[in-house]
């Protein structure tokens, strides 16, 4: 088993996508690489803690590779906007890959170079990961009729998984 950490805007969206990828065995929404210890959602929403909303992705490397996860990551968010995904704005919504090995760092850099189209995704070593509050976990699956889910997440899932 391997672990990857991706930030691509609201973690509800990122989690919903990766939960549906074969070979992903577990996801967990959380916050990483900020200055505040044990931040809450309210803390990181100020944009002052330095954390990113991130999804920890555990995957079976026999069934899916890190490169394949990168393909999904870049296909399902806008990696060309600074600190923004749609109407979600702030440093907590930045596009970022928090690597746990030199191999992940190298593969991430190579993948971005190959895309060669204005990608501004941060590539940083994972420093610390704090799980988000329980109500953020499995959010889309537990709240499919919530307006944010209906307007943003459901169309993203339909677009990605129907093509």
**Integer Cα distance of 106 and 87 in angstroms:** 31
Would you give the DSSP letter of residue 151?
Answer: I
Residue 9 CA from chain centroid, whole number: 7
Given the residues 10, 13, 32, 149, the one annotated as active site: 10
10 is annotated as an active-site residue: yes
What is the phi/psi pair of residue 159, to 5°?
A: -65, -50
Q: Compute the half-sphere exposure of residue 47: CA atoms within 13 Å on the CB side of its CA.
A: 9
Tell me the two tokens of residue 118. 């204005």
Alpha helices (H) along the chain: 11-18, 41-44, 66-75, 102-115, 139-142, 147-148, 154-162
Catalytic residues: 10
């Amino acid at each position: 088993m391997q672990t990857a950490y991706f930030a691509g805007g609201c973690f509800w969206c990122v989690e919903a996508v990766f939960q549906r990828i074969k070979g992903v065995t577990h996801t967990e929404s959380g916050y990483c690489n900020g200055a505040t210890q044990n931040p809450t959602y309210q803390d990181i929403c100020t944009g002052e803690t330095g954390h990113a909303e991130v999804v920890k992705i555990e995957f079976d490397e026999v069934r899916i590779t890190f490169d394949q996860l990168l393909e999904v990551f870049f296909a399902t968010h806008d990696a060309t906007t600074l600190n923004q995904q749609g109407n979600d704005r702030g440093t907590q919504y930045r596009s970022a890959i928090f690597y746990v090995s030199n191999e992940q760092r190298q593969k991430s850099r190579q993948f971005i170079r190959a895309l060669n189209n204005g990608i501004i995704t941060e590539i940083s070593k994972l420093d610390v990961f704090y799980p988000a509050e329980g109500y953020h976990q499995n959010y889309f699956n537990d709240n499919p009729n919530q307006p944010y889910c209906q307007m943003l997440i459901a169309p993203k899932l339909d677009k990605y998984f129907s093509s």
